[in-house]
Amino acid sequence: MKSFKYIALLLIGTLFFSCKEDFFTTIVEVELPTIENTLVVNSIVRADKPFNFQLYKAVEVLDNEAQSTLVENGVIEIYEGEQLLETVTPTTTVNVDTFVNWPNLDTVIYTNTRITYDSETIAETGKTYEIKASAPDFEPVTAVSAIPNKPVIKTIYISDTVEVVDFYGYKDEKIELTIEMEDDINTEDYYYINLSSKEFFTDPYTGDEFNYKNSICYESYDPIFNSVETDPVDVEAAAWYCGLADFNDNLFNGKTKKFTLLIDTYYFNNNYGNQNSERFINVDLGHTTKDFYLYARSATSQSWNDGNPFAEPVTVYSNIENGFGIFAGISEISITLE
């Protein structure tokens, strides 16, 4: 019995010692590869519009700067083949909202004055451009992108209200938006669809006019939104998007493709019956490069899975040689549904 008491005391003492709070979480020093003065170029080039670039310095992941540093003294050269079309320098100052994630804290939105680099050169469909960006103390970076041709929409229409049963079995009423488009058999093509609503509102008391623009959320059971594979798959659940949804032509290469988007009837109600407002639905169909598609997919996936311990970490695609970011062309058709 005496030895039992000693053993019990030993066990309790050890348990007490083992439960010290500072044992379980420790700040650790990590030796990660250093990122020295690496340029980031972000540029989505729209057909028939000037080039627009943002230039940053990438920061190390544990750097305590809230945001990456803006590069204010860079130079960007735009080439078509061997021909230098333009040398772009900082041109515009704009106010932008930047979303910054502090680990395990709420996202902080900073409104900053930012310098952008705007060209006078207009991006033309069917042409391929190379850019070379440089700044003092940085290794120069390069990237190449084509400007795709405009997509071809054959028909576009909306249905009357339809009843749908969703993944969980719930019944709901939706408006069907159907788009029929053509695809080139000779190329691997990438597209996006973007729905937004624009509302014009007149204040009944002051007569002031306002307009609001909002992304529209929608869903689709079409496999083009759910699969990056070439084989059609059974899709149980609708793909759900707010804003832009990208897809490729793996499932309809060279064919006329008709697909349907399901939109809440809410977006078609005229601002809850407010007589002083008018709402329009805007449909953008974009034709993009593969680089745009890969960047959009990977960047969205990384954002979506940030902090999810069960998901595999996502490497965001970049086509900037010797740096980070994206340089990609798009070509778009916009249609307004009244």
Distances from the Cα of 250 to the Cα of 40, 194, 225, 254, 307, angstroms: 31, 20, 11, 10, 31
Buried b (16+ CB within 10 A) or exposed e, 172-198: eebbbbebebebeeeeebbbbbbbbbe
- Smaller CB distance to other proteins: residue 28 or 272? 28
Which segment (15-23, 74-82, 119-127, 144-152) binds other proteins by CB under 8 A?
15-23
In the list 64, 83, 95, 111, the residue contacting other proteins (rule: CB under 8 A) is 64
Distance from C-alpha of 269 to C-alpha of 216, rounded to nearest angstrom = 13
Q: Shortest approach of other proteins to residue 99 CB, angstroms?
A: 5
Nearer to other proteins, 206 or 315 (CB): 315
Q: Would you count residue 169 as binding other proteins (CB under 8 A)?
A: yes
Judged by beta carbon, residue 3 or residue 275, the one nearer other proteins is 3
Residue from 81, 229, 256, 270 in contact with other proteins (CB under 8 A): 229
SS3 41: strand
Pick out residues in 27-56 that bind other proteins (CB under 8 A): 27-28, 30, 32-33, 35, 38, 40, 42-44, 46, 54, 56
Scan for tokens 């740096």, then name that residue. 323
For the segment 183-202, give every residue that binds other proteins (CB under 8 A). 192, 194, 196, 198
Contact status: 6 vs other proteins (CB under 8 A): no
Checking 107-112 for CB contacts under 8 A at 24+ apart, the result is 108/66, 110/66, 110/67, 112/67
Residue 274 interacts with other proteins (CB under 8 A): yes or no? no
Calculate the CA dihedral of residues 240, 294, 116, 141 and round it to 10 degrees: 170
Residues 117-156, interacting with other proteins (CB under 8 A): none
**Is 10 a residue that touches other proteins (CB under 8 A)?**
yes
266 φ, ψ (degrees, to nearest 5) = -50, -40
Q: According to CB under 8 A, which residues from 299 to 318 bind other proteins? A: 299-306, 308-316
* Residue 123 C-beta: closest distance to other proteins, Å: 13
User: And the tokens for 115?
Assistant: 């310098």
- At 186, give phi and psi (nearest 5°): -85, -10
DSSP string for 160-193: EEEEEE-TTS-EEEEEEEEEEEE--TTS--EEEE
Instruction: Name which of 82 and 234 has its Cβ closer to other proteins.
Output: 234
Residue closer to other proteins by CB (options 82, 312) is 312
Q: Considering beta carbons, is residue 81 or 229 the nearer one to other proteins?
A: 229
Shortest Cβ 333–other proteins spacing (Å): 10
Contact status, residue 167 vs residue 238, Cβ threshold 8 Å: yes
- Site map (CB under 8 A) of other proteins, residues 74-103, x = contact: ----------------------x-xxxxxx
